[in-house]
Structure 1
Amino acid sequence: MTENNILSRQNTLWMQGVSALLIMLMHFVMQLENYLRFFNIFDSVAVAVFLFISGFGINESHKINGINNFWKKRFLRVIIPCWTIFLFQLPFVEHFNSVQLLKNLTFYASDLWFVDYIIRWYLVYWISRRFFTKNTKYILFVFGIYNVFQQQLYSEQAFSFFCGYLASEYVGKLNKLNKKHVLKYTFLSVIYGIIFLLIKEIPTIQQIKGSILFNVILLNIKLPLAMSIIAAPFLFPLLKKIGIFNKLGKISYELYIVHYNFMPAITGIISIFIYSAYSIIISVIFRRINQLLSKKSYFIYSLTGILYIGICYTLMCKYSMRVTEHYGYICIGYALVLALGLLFFATKEEEEKKINKYLPYLFAATTTVLVIGLLIVQYHFDPLTNKVDRWSALAYPIQNLFNGQFPYSAKTHLGGNASPFPIWLVFHIPFYLLQNVGLSEIFTCMIFIYSIKLLSGYKAAIKATLLLFLSINLWYEVAVRSDLISNFFLLAAFINILQVYQINFKQHPWILSVCVGLWLSTRLSVAFPLFILFFPYYIKLKVKKQILIPLLIVGVFAMTFLPLILWDAKELFGAENNPFSLQFRQGSPIATIFLVTITLTMSLTWKGSYQFQVLYSVIILLLIPIISYGYSMYIYGNWTDIFNSNYDITYIDAAIPFAITILSLPKLKG
């Protein structure tokens, strides 16, 4: 299709840009007091253009690609971006509603009715093309009739998508129309729409608002008037010289799902300009991420990037909302900085060879700056004033050990009980002797960075260092001297080193089984990434080994507790808050079964791809607190407590090392 045709790519892009701008501005204007109700027409006309182009575009795509990868494209282009917006909006929801969140994620009466509606049209189109190809036109027409009897927003747009589909089916005939014919038909269409617009304003007709008849009248207004926008770039080519519309057309979907978040913030004309600018800037960056998401070679990288931003963004929301009512600006700005950093790394993957010789020096400089910064932050805060007692849950049991007292009888500086397992206590003895167990975070951070260097060189290690520098989660963990992230820095480094030297469970089942037993004696949640990594090899072993290996793992794990059992078994197991009960306290049988099922599925589907294996580790480590806390909030009905002290959402920090592993190595092959 040439650029001279009425529905050329350049023309439809212009239409989308104009429509997106109209929808955003009208939605903002509607938030003002005493706004003119007449402006509503511009919003609904623009929506009609969107639906028309969607119907046209999806059928044009079908002519080239058929039905192949239909839902994959919709999932990547429409669903994931919308889910991202819904989830990133949660910290700003005044009254959290789990039912509404479920509706948003399933696109059933979600906050974005247009997305719900277009997905329904996609579904009907796919069904008709997949099973009733010859009757597609009739099925879409019948679905249009069905929509006439739905809510007003659906009813007044009942045939917009269908007409776009028809335009694609008869595009050859449309392309033969000259400007004179197009101008005539457009003029008649607009006159037709205006007539029904005037009919709608008759007082008698206004009294039947909400009825089927009223909706039919609206149906005869929106799309006919939309023809003026659809025909405009063809009739007046100079309009396409206004570059802003073409640029907005490229981000039209992102602009639609982004701008609605700012609608409650509109207070006047100036705020409309401010939040329009915010919406456009965010949409440009968001569009670029979505483009990467659609590329096969960057899918894992971009999906992990969204998760990484989400982890950092969540923690920023939790603590910034405690110090300022303007936390929204801080959190959104922070998320944009992270997104720009990830886009920079993605586009600058290939560096000129002439700078490679400087990479070791740059690596040394960045890691040195990071270490110095972390040390300054850690020693700036008095640990005894921390409201987090993970450091004292290590230091005080070790102190007891050196004093000849049972380690788990020690209380933390906040009066809590110690939960770290024996191997993790032993690991921290050198740092205790240095009078700061919190140094383990910095030490394990450097080990992790070095594992990235071994895995893919200095450039990847520099990326990892910068991503760690950008992560508020690391700075928080170091400031409060929490050992959580240390555990997973070390685990991620261990898995990276196995990848470097190609050590797998099939070749070394016994030594790795011993390692698993020792790892379990640091923190039980490490079992999930290890299971994903080793289980595919385990099931290929002979039956005898399959029986002996679990026994060996359990035996090694038990042996680490043997000295403590012999010392004081009653104190170890009998105390109400013993280390086992503390590590299991957030779980439930249902949540555990669900997590085990997901982990088993993941372990059987990564199929030798290192990127997928690490991505699965990111996801499962996020799901552990999400499912556990979600179940608890469902039982107690305290959904709004997620950002207060009742729930320690810093458990999501465990996924950071694995996410950064992927983000440092966007082109790593399995």
Structure 2
Amino acid sequence: MYLVIVFLGIFYLNKFSAIINRIKKANYYVLGLSFVVFLLFVFINFYIDGNSLNADRWSAMDVTIASILNGEYPYGMKDHLGQTSSNLPALFYIGLPFYFLGDVGLLQPFVFLLISLFLFKSKIAIHKKVIVLFLLLMSPSYLWEIIAKSDLMSNIILLILFLFFWDDKFKNNYFKKPLLLSFFCAFFVLTRGIVVIPLTLFLFRGFLDSNLKTKLKFIVGFTIFSIVICLPILINLPNTETIIEHNPFNHQTKFTPKFVQILFILLPFLIALKRLKIKEKVYYLLILLSILLFVSFAIVCFKFGFDNALYKSYFDISYLGIVLPFTILYFVLDYTKLD
């Protein structure tokens, strides 16, 4: 029934696209509807008690921020489910404004508002804007992110918005501003390790085409900004044994074999050697992410059993939602009209 509703929704939105696109001020109606959904998401966020959830992304971020503000090493602290945080340092900065607003879960509604503003400002056809919002709001994985106060998909959406903004501004030369780009790359890499894959696919070819001076500026800038972003944690480092046992890299990669991680770090570099259009990059990205997630899930199932993988969180199935924003972009958006 769910799939029927989704397919019928897309079918009729396309069928009546000419009528939808001719409606006066339709862009403002879409924005207004999006704002209502934003307010609903804010209400849901405050209505649901995070401590009642069997998902701890929100409390992992909350504990990380609180620990850093208190001058403590965050990766040994326990969240409301008794787990230690795997938040990389840049998530501290993303969640900080919402921590001060009283709930880090507000990140998700505000990222939805950002998507709505992006669609409002873009020159995408009105019916395609509606399709984007329709697919997003009909996605169980996205709605789970809202209800569970998870930051995963918001993290990926922010990355996507950055990549398309950068493509729009510097389409002919991604490395025109290498220092600024190095800051954003360092920042996003320090949110989640998996973002290395899209960043490499989108930017590595441009890096190879840039001159030596630009390459050096980018590398030096990336190194310096990475250190600066990590400073709040670096100044509170405990003893070596604690760091080895409790660190975000260990937590994020403990169930995926090292050879799989290395392989999927290297593959984007090889694919990016070819000159690709932006839609082709998204296509290859979807393939890589899908294979990585499937292989990781299969390995966990083989080692620990299907029940442990699915029901005891040996594999975090919410990671499957990573492909959703890229899938929507690939099948719906007209990339020639993103400016």
TM-score, normalisation: structure 2: 0.87
Task: Tell me which residue corresponds to 1:393.
Answer: 60
From 72, 75, 78, the counterpart of 1:411: 78
How far apart are the structure 2 equivalents of 1:421 and 1:595?
19
Query: Greater relative contact order (Cα 8 A, min sep 6): structure 1 or 2?
Result: 2
How far the C-alpha of 1:481 sits from its partner, in A, is 0.7
Q: What RMSD in Å do the two structures reach over aligned CA positions?
A: 2.7
From 235, 242, 251, the counterpart of 1:566: 235
Equivalent pairs counted in the alignment come to 335
How far apart are the structure 2 equivalents of 1:350 and 1:572?
64
User: Could you tell me which amino acid in structure 2 is paired with residue 436 of structure 1?
Assistant: D
Q: CA distance change for structure 1 residues 558 and 413 in 2, over 3 Å: closer, same or farther?
A: same
Q: CA distance change for structure 1 residues 628 and 480 in 2, over 3 Å: closer, same or farther?
A: same
8 Å contact kept, 1:360–1:458 = no
User: Could you tell me which amino acid in structure 2 is paired with residue 509 of structure 1?
Assistant: P
How far apart are the structure 2 equivalents of 1:335 and 1:555?
48
From 171, 187, 206, the counterpart of 1:537: 206
- 1:296-307 alignment, distance < 5 Å: none
- State the SS of the aligned residue for 1:620: helix
8 Å contact kept, 1:346–1:666 = no
Task: Tell me which residue corresponds to 1:660.
Answer: 328
Task: Tell me which residue corresponds to 2:226.
Answer: 557
Task: Tell me which residue corresponds to 2:109.
Answer: 442
- State the SS of the aligned residue for 2:104: coil
Q: CA distance change for structure 1 residues 548 and 416 in 2, over 3 Å: closer, same or farther?
A: same
8 Å contact kept, 2:62–2:99 = yes
8 Å contact kept, 1:451–1:496 = no
8 Å contact kept, 1:374–1:475 = no
Q: CA distance change for structure 1 residues 546 and 627 in 2, over 3 Å: closer, same or farther?
A: farther
Alpha-carbon deviations, 1:460-487, whole Å to 9, x = none?
4333222211111111011111111110
User: Could you tell me which amino acid in structure 2 is paired with residue 616 of structure 1?
Assistant: Y
- 1:240-639 alignment, distance < 5 Å: 333-351=1-19, 354-355=22-23, 357-457=24-124, 459=126, 460-503=128-171, 504-543=173-212, 545-546=214-215, 549-570=218-239, 574-605=243-274, 607-634=275-302, 636=303, 638-639=305-306
Q: CA distance change for structure 1 residues 521 and 473 in 2, over 3 Å: closer, same or farther?
A: same
8 Å contact kept, 2:175–2:214 = no
Alpha-carbon deviations, 1:589-633, whole Å to 9, x = none?
22123313432343234x342222223333333333222222333
How far apart are the structure 1 equivalents of 2:36 and 2:331?
21
Q: CA distance change for structure 1 residues 353 and 392 in 2, over 3 Å: closer, same or farther?
A: closer
Q: CA distance change for structure 1 residues 639 and 353 in 2, over 3 Å: closer, same or farther?
A: closer
Task: Tell me which residue corresponds to 1:67.
Answer: none
Mind listing any 5+ residue stretches in structure 2 that lack a counterpart? none
How far apart are the structure 1 equivalents of 2:331 and 2:240?
44
Q: CA distance change for structure 1 residues 530 and 667 in 2, over 3 Å: closer, same or farther?
A: closer
How far apart are the structure 2 equivalents of 1:572 and 1:435?
34
How far apart are the structure 2 equivalents of 1:534 and 1:380?
41
How far the C-alpha of 1:574 sits from its partner, in A, is 1.8
How far apart are the structure 2 equivalents of 1:448 and 1:437?
18
- State the SS of the aligned residue for 2:32: helix
8 Å contact kept, 1:419–1:579 = yes
Alpha-carbon deviations, 1:502-523, whole Å to 9, x = none?
4542322232122101111211
- State the SS of the aligned residue for 1:517: helix
How far apart are the structure 1 equivalents of 2:2 and 2:146?
19
- State the SS of the aligned residue for 2:319: helix
Q: CA distance change for structure 1 residues 572 and 617 in 2, over 3 Å: closer, same or farther?
A: farther
- State the SS of the aligned residue for 1:567: coil
How far the C-alpha of 1:450 sits from its partner, in A, is 2.4
How far the C-alpha of 1:458 sits from its partner, in A, is 6.4
How far the C-alpha of 1:439 sits from its partner, in A, is 0.5
How far the C-alpha of 1:422 sits from its partner, in A, is 1.9
How far apart are the structure 1 equivalents of 2:253 and 2:118?
30
8 Å contact kept, 2:186–2:225 = yes
Q: CA distance change for structure 1 residues 610 and 343 in 2, over 3 Å: closer, same or farther?
A: farther
8 Å contact kept, 1:449–1:464 = no
How far the C-alpha of 1:395 sits from its partner, in A, is 0.8
8 Å contact kept, 2:255–2:315 = no
How far the C-alpha of 1:404 sits from its partner, in A, is 3.9
8 Å contact kept, 1:538–1:546 = yes
How far apart are the structure 1 equivalents of 2:225 and 2:242?
18
- 1:168-207 alignment, distance < 5 Å: none
User: Could you tell me which amino acid in structure 2 is paired with residue 360 of structure 1?
Assistant: N
8 Å contact kept, 1:485–1:654 = yes
- State the SS of the aligned residue for 2:57: coil
How far apart are the structure 1 equivalents of 2:115 and 2:211?
34
- State the SS of the aligned residue for 1:595: helix
Alpha-carbon deviations, 1:161-219, whole Å to 9, x = none?
xxxxxxxxxxxxxxxxxxxxxxxxxxxxxxxxxxxxxxxxxxxxxxxxxxxxxxxxxxx
Alpha-carbon deviations, 1:49-91, whole Å to 9, x = none?
xxxxxxxxxxxxxxxxxxxxxxxxxxxxxxxxxxxxxxxxxxx
How far apart are the structure 2 equivalents of 1:405 and 1:639?
37
8 Å contact kept, 2:86–2:249 = yes
Q: CA distance change for structure 1 residues 385 and 595 in 2, over 3 Å: closer, same or farther?
A: same
How far the C-alpha of 1:432 sits from its partner, in A, is 0.7
Alpha-carbon deviations, 1:233-253, whole Å to 9, x = none?
xxxxxxxxxxxxxxxxxxxxx
How far the C-alpha of 1:350 sits from its partner, in A, is 4.2
Q: CA distance change for structure 1 residues 457 and 572 in 2, over 3 Å: closer, same or farther?
A: farther
User: Could you tell me which amino acid in structure 2 is paired with residue 430 of structure 1?
Assistant: P
How far the C-alpha of 1:353 sits from its partner, in A, is 5.5
